[in-house]
Amino acid sequence: MPLTFLPKLIVLFVFFQSFSQSNLYTSLTIPSSLSQQANAVIRLSEMDISLVSSEEMVIKHKRIVTVMNKAGNSAVDAYVHYDDNVKIKELEVLVYNKFGANIKKVRKKDFKDVSAVDGGTLYTDSRVKFLEYTPTDYPYTVEFICETVTKNTAFIPSFTPVSDYFVAVENSRYTISSPENINIRKKEKNLEGFEVEKSLGAEMISYQIKNLASFKSEDYSPSLVDIAPKVLFAAQQFTLEGVGAEVEDWDAFGKWMYHDIIKETHDLPESTIKKVRELVKNETSDLEKAKKIYQYVQDKVRYISVQVGIGGWKPFKASEVDALGYGDCKGLTNYTMSLLKAVGVESYYSVIYAGKSQRNFEKDFAAMQGNHVILSIPNNGETLWLECTSQKLPFGFIGDFTDDRDALVIMPDGGKIEHTKKYTTGENTQLIKGNYALSSKGDIAAEIQVASKGIQYDDKYWLETETERDLDMHYKKRWKYINSLSINKMTVENDKSNIAFNENISFKATNYTKKAGNRMLLTVNAFNRSTHVPDRYADRKYPLKIRRGFIDNDEVEISLPPEYTVESLPKNIAIENKFGSYKASFAKNEANKIVYKRTFTVNDGNYPKEDYNAFREFYKEVSKMDNAKAVLIKNQL
């Protein structure tokens, strides 16, 4: 080839490279297969991780995201945490309009810089820089460029192409390199069925995924973390908070975590040790001692929130929490553990993924995992779990925040994976006993008592501290299907000893019934109608997952006006299937009253997607029966 053609070829190559890159900044070039039903599209995500040594890691991240609408703003993710161990080397954002023209440039100094802590001064080095940008038009594109250097190599970011629903991915690349003396372990999850390219070298590993359509959320489906593609990474040799380690399994991990990270923080002052020993001196069992200590912690300290990834994994010393009276989940759990140790009660610092999704620890992949810390106490062959951040929860109750999932229990002789408390269907109960009187005008006056336990207790115990105004709004929202409802009385009791929440409410409502001539139509179920019907899907993608079962029992007596008598009642019904059961009975007694009984049970479990329509029909039938009407007829004079 003549040399005279080379400059033209070089110019042409540069032109096409520039054109290809600029295509990422305009929404006009997004394939329709990705933009459909997507709130945002990740045009390009490049994460380059260099593990320089077991004591230094460099993370370079470039992310170009086109936001299609207001709901997609959260997909920008233009933020970075930093502290004494994490230094920001580069930070920049460029914003483009729908045509790909640059309309804003945000440099490092222009980012919003705030403490990562919600109150307090215990964690003054924990901060976060984030983009504060309000778009004026959609779609728009954000290019986020960030480079950090950290001394903590225990946390290696995973390859997570998508972390939210309705976010599509055009191209996501991940590379991790390390020296020969550091062994990188990995675990692939949910890669089947996706276009994934990978290269697994001795000193460099890379993954790439293209054209990933958005995941659409579906009612009663597994969590996104259980269905989206992901690759976890961990170094066998790493450093955390200046402490080196070499671990490969949970047993070794637990020993290192306890002896090198946690043990030295149990430094309670002697005055506090004397105080708590005096507090429990009359208690003869470890369980009763633990209850006293738990109440002591709830009365003395408060929780401060530290954002995930900040504050390290080393808890602050028990003496500091004791003096200041506050801490995050690590500090408060460690403080409670130290107090229990002082009175001779064994307990263990336990790391977990908190949240309603019930995310599990990876049993076969020992690495820094989790986003929360709770306390476990051995109790005659069973395990009690304590949520040490709450000033309201009863002793031994953890609720749906940390229930029914695998956690890492850290002990002096090693770590092990244990499953937290599962609240069974039979434990998650709500019992309603009530009555209401119906007037000849169709008005009702009601008295109702509600007792809730298990997860149904968890749904309501917070009402104890609500204002009267907020309580009034809550009950009107609960019975939103009753028009013109007026609350007369409302008292709530948080029975922590029995872990039960009791409610006593009386209310009135006008025009509750419908009249047709000399007849009155009465919807019998006034207190506990199921109005929920799961969404319909023409093409269901995911399995059916019912996370928590429950049982509702209702016993209601309805006093009819003397001018009316029952012409017809709904038929008694009994439905039973794999998802649960529903029973309702209607009977008139001699005192011109209707006695209504109802039991609605839903079982937790995992089912194939083919079962979803039958499950939905079950809820539809329940909703229909909960709206069943009695016909009352006016007495003839």
CATH label of the domain that carries residue 253: 3.10.620.30
Task: Clarify whether residues 458 and 387 are in a common domain.
Answer: no
Q: Does 501 lie in the same domain as 606?
A: yes
CA distance 210 to 195: 6
pLDDT for the residue 19: 42
Task: Output DSSP code: residue 215.
Answer: P
Question: In whole angstroms, what is the distance from residue 167 CA to residue 215 CA?
Answer: 7
Residue 16 belongs to a domain: no
Q: What is the DSSP letter of 27?
A: G
Tell me, yes or no, whether 172 and 198 share the same domain. yes
Contact 152, 241 (CB under 8 A): yes
Burial of 479-501, coded b for 16+ CB within 10 Å and e otherwise, reads: beebeebebeebebebebeebbb
Any idea what the CATH number is for the domain that residue 108 is in? 2.60.40.3140
The CA-CA-CA angle for residues 343, 348, 351, to 5°, reads: 145
Task: Give the model confidence (pLDDT) of 597-617 as tens digits.
Answer: 999 999 999 999 999 999 999
Distance CA 257, CA 250 (A): 10
Structural domains counted in the chain: 3
Within this chain, do residues 224 and 266 fall inside the same structural domain, yes or no? no
Residues 300 and 208 in one domain: no
CATH number where 608 lies? 2.60.120.1130
Q: Which amino acid is at 338?
A: S
| 96 in any annotated domain | yes
Strands 302-303 and 326-327: parallel
Helix and strand numbers (H, E) in the chain are: 10, 38
Q: What's the predicted TM-score (pTM) here?
A: 0.90
Do residues 509 and 483 lie in contact, with contact meaning Cβ atoms separated by under 8 Å?
yes
Same domain? 83 vs 232: yes
User: CB count, 10 Å around CB of 69?
Assistant: 13
Q: What angle do CA 208, 212, 214 make, to 5 degrees?
A: 140
Q: Does 541 map to a domain?
A: yes
pLDDT of residue 116: 78
Give the residue among 483, 230, 549 at the shortest CA–CA distance from 359: 230
| Residue range(s) defining the domain that contains residue 339 | 247-419
- Domain boundary at 396, 419, 442, which? 419
Task: Please say which residue of 368, 394, 419 terminates a domain.
Answer: 419
Those residues of the chain that have pLDDT short of 70 are 1-22, 118-124, 307-312, 637
CA–CA gap between residue 277 and residue 318 (Å, rounded): 16
Q: Is residue 20 situated within a structural domain?
A: no
Same domain assignment for residues 526 and 564: yes
What's the rounded Cα separation, in Å, for the pair 449 and 430?
10
Residues 189 and 156 in one domain: yes
The verdict on 532 and 462 lying in the same domain is yes
Instruction: Tell whether 496 is covered by a domain.
Output: yes
Same domain for 494 and 603, yes or no, is yes
In a shared domain, residues 390 and 446:
no
Q: Let me know if residue 12 belongs to a domain.
A: no
Domain membership of residue 8 (yes or no) is no
Q: Is residue 85 part of a domain?
A: yes
Residues 500 and 527 both lie in one domain: yes
Predicted pLDDT of residue 479: 97
Q: Alpha-carbon distance 170 to 168, whole Å?
A: 7
Q: What is the pLDDT of residue 229?
A: 97
CB 600 within 8 A of CB 611: no
